Amino acid sequence: MSTNRHALIRYRTIDRCLRQRNKRFWTWQELAAACGEELREFEGVDRDDPSERTIKGDLSFMRNADQGYGAPIQWYPGEQAYAYSEPGFSITQLPLDDADMAELGQALSILRQFRGFPQVEGVEKVAAKLSEALRVQKPSAPQVLQFEDNMVGQGLQWLDLLYRACRDRRCVALDYHPFQVPEGYQHRRIVSPQLLKEYNNRWFLFACDHRRHGIRTYALDRIREAAFYPLADYVEDRRFEPADYFRHTIGVSRKPEDEVQEVRIRVQPGQVQYLLTKPLHASQQQQPPESNGSVVFIYQLTLNVELENLLLSFGEWIEVLSPESLRQKIAERARRQAEQYRPAR
């Protein structure tokens, strides 16, 4: 059923009117006035009542059993008004059929990819109750859609708490252990969570660190303890806008002071089509092919280790041209890697 929010509000309002016991019949003008009042309250602005054409179109749609609700709306000439011919009917009480349950099952199969969020488990329980109540047999269909399993590894037990902290703007106390900090050493931080972000099958928290007074990144698999911290006021960094913060960044390593630089790479003919069909970044541009079929691609990016790792994953198929600092970093890492494969003397 494809419709917009205003139409859904009108359908619900018309249904509520026709269900009233103290008023049996409703003219289209009365239904329009009720819908107009509901829409004005919803939008918070003054607006005209829906037109006669709109209301009668809504009534026709609601009557439709295939696309609408199959509502028993009848026109009574003597009253010059509309009413439900079946007292007690409501569009809110329509049961789900086999097709509805099949679609719900498909949606759940996608949601199950995001294990770790209790909200998903709650939705699945509701679906199970619906299926039992309606005696609808759960369809046994083969899996035809599979995501990368990003719900493995450590730290997933903190997802729900940190999600609620971001949503409800609540401070959190973290016992955080970066890789360079020895195990057993308590590294406590009071933070105001702003965003949860998944990258390369790992989850990261972006939060305002109360001691460092700025946005910091915390890998969930390095968190040892996390709990709400009511003794501090939540700090919202208004400069942190995720869409802008990561606009020129590959991965999650990003500092507010990092500058955007022009990155140029030369790609060998064997990998050109790969980058044309799957760009490394939204800023990707390319120059005309060179005589041997190689192409120079240009990006606007901040430099970080995720960018280095991505470029190194192409091996000999690409060459970093600029900036010079990135070119030297890739060359040094490639040299150290090659050293490991030299035959033992």
Q: Where are the domains of the chain?
A: 5-93, 95-147, 163-245, 261-340
Look at residue 36 and tell me whether its pLDDT is greater than 90: yes
Q: Is 306 helix (H, G, I), strand (E, B) or coil?
A: helix
Residue with the larger pLDDT of the pair 235 and 212: 235
Rounded distance, CA 215 to CA 52, Å?
54
pLDDT score, position 193: 95
Lowest-confidence pick of 82-86, 127-131, 315-319: 127-131
- For position 156, what pLDDT does the model report? 81
Q: What is the pLDDT of residue 160?
A: 85
| pTM for the whole structure | 0.61
Q: Which residues are paired to 223 by β-bridges?
A: 176
Degrees to nearest 5, angle at CA 201 with 178 and 214: 45
Q: How far apart are CA 93 and CA 90, in angstroms?
A: 6
CA torsion through residues 310, 312, 314, 319, sign: positive
Instruction: Flag whether pLDDT at 136 surpasses 60.
Output: no
Residue 42: pLDDT band with limits 50, 70, 90: confident
Q: Which residue has the tokens 């003008």?
A: 29
Higher pLDDT, 198 or 125: 198
Task: Considering only residues 208 and 178, tell me which one the structure prediction assigns the higher pLDDT.
Answer: 208
Residue 212 tokens read as 């460092």
- The verdict on domain 5-93 having CATH code 3.40.50.1370 is no
More confident residue, 290 or 184: 290
Cα separation, 103 vs 156, in Å, equals 28
Task: Classify domain 163-245 by CATH number.
Answer: 2.30.30
Report, as an integer, the average pLDDT of 62-72: 87
Query: What's the mean pLDDT in 5-32?
Result: 90
- Sheet bearing 295-301, strands edge to edge: 285-286, 295-301, 261-267, 318-322
- Position 1 pLDDT exceeds 50: no
The winner for highest mean pLDDT among 41-50, 237-246, 263-272 is 263-272
Q: Which comes out higher in pLDDT, residue 285 or 258?
A: 285
Mean pLDDT across the stretch 131-141?
Answer: 52
Mean predicted confidence (pLDDT) in 271-293: 93
pLDDT reading at 307 higher than 90: yes
Q: How confident is the model at residue 112 (pLDDT cuts 50, 70, 90)?
A: low
Query: In CATH, which of 3.40.50, 1.10.3470, 1.10.1760, 3.30.70 is domain 261-340?
Result: 3.30.70
Q: What is the pLDDT of residue 115?
A: 59
User: Could you tell me what percent of the chain has a pLDDT over 90?
Assistant: 50
What pLDDT is attached to residue 226?
92
Q: Is pLDDT of 2 > 60? A: no
DSSP annotation string for 237-289: -TT--HHHHTTT-SSS---TTPPPEEEEEEE-HHHHHHHHHS-SSTT-EEPPP
Average pLDDT of the residues of the chain: 84
